[in-house]
Amino acid sequence: MVIKYSNKFVHKLGYRKAKWLPCVKVLIGTMVILNIMACYARPDFITQMVCVLAILFLSDSETISRDAFRALPLVLLVSIVYDFIWLFFIQGLVAEAEHQEGGLELPVKLFALHITWIAWLFKFPFFFVLWKVSYNYLVDIKEVHDAPRIIKL
């Protein structure tokens, strides 16, 4: 048995509908800063591309379709898999930094490696919020309040 609550009932309980657009903007800004600092260790243009395209799509939502916005979480998922492979199988920054320039690069490489770990962990909530916003594209981005969940634009 499925119980559907009306908006008035939910509003009487003190709950309100979440505004996802400000949350997405804060997440994008945080991801950009983390990714810039993580790029001291290695180039990561996939995540930067997702952030720049998300900013573009959110600032010009009139000409962007739902399918284009739905591609952002998928590309971010590719970035998560790439980072997983790099972090666990490829990277050897500590050993590399000890051999180069007498170990003077070690603090910078360690900082970048720690930020890369933080950015990789931060990509998971960023992925899920982007996925949720892309799923409810009409409601969250286009602000159509009586829109069905899935519709062809």
| pLDDT tens, position by position, 83-118 | 999 888 877 766 666 666 666 777 887 888 899 999
Provide the residue type at 60 as one letter: D
* Owning domain of residue 127: 18-140
pTM, two decimals, is 0.76
57-68: pLDDT as tens digits: 888 777 777 888
Average pLDDT over residues 39-47: 87
Alpha-carbon distance of 120 to 131, in angstroms, equals 17
Long-range contacts of 105-109 (CB under 8 A, 24+ apart): 108/40, 109/40, 109/41
- Comparing 91 with 23, the larger pLDDT belongs to 23
**What's the confidence (pLDDT) of residue 41?**
79
Is residue 11 in a domain? no
Amino acid letter at 71?
A: A
Q: How far apart are CA 133 and CA 45, in angstroms?
A: 23
Residue 106 falls within a domain, yes or no? yes
Asked whether residue 89 is domain-assigned, the answer is: yes
Q: How confident is the model at residue 21 (pLDDT cuts 50, 70, 90)?
A: confident
In a domain, 61, yes or no: yes
At residue 46, the pLDDT reads 94
Residue-averaged pLDDT of the chain: 79
The answer on pLDDT for 153 being more than 50 is no
Contact partners, residue 44, CB within 8 Å, separation at least 6: 35, 38, 79, 83
CB 83 within 8 A of CB 115: no
In a domain, 115, yes or no: yes
Domains held by the chain: number? 1
User: Is the residue at 7 inside a domain?
Assistant: no
Asked if residue 13 is part of any domain, the answer here is no
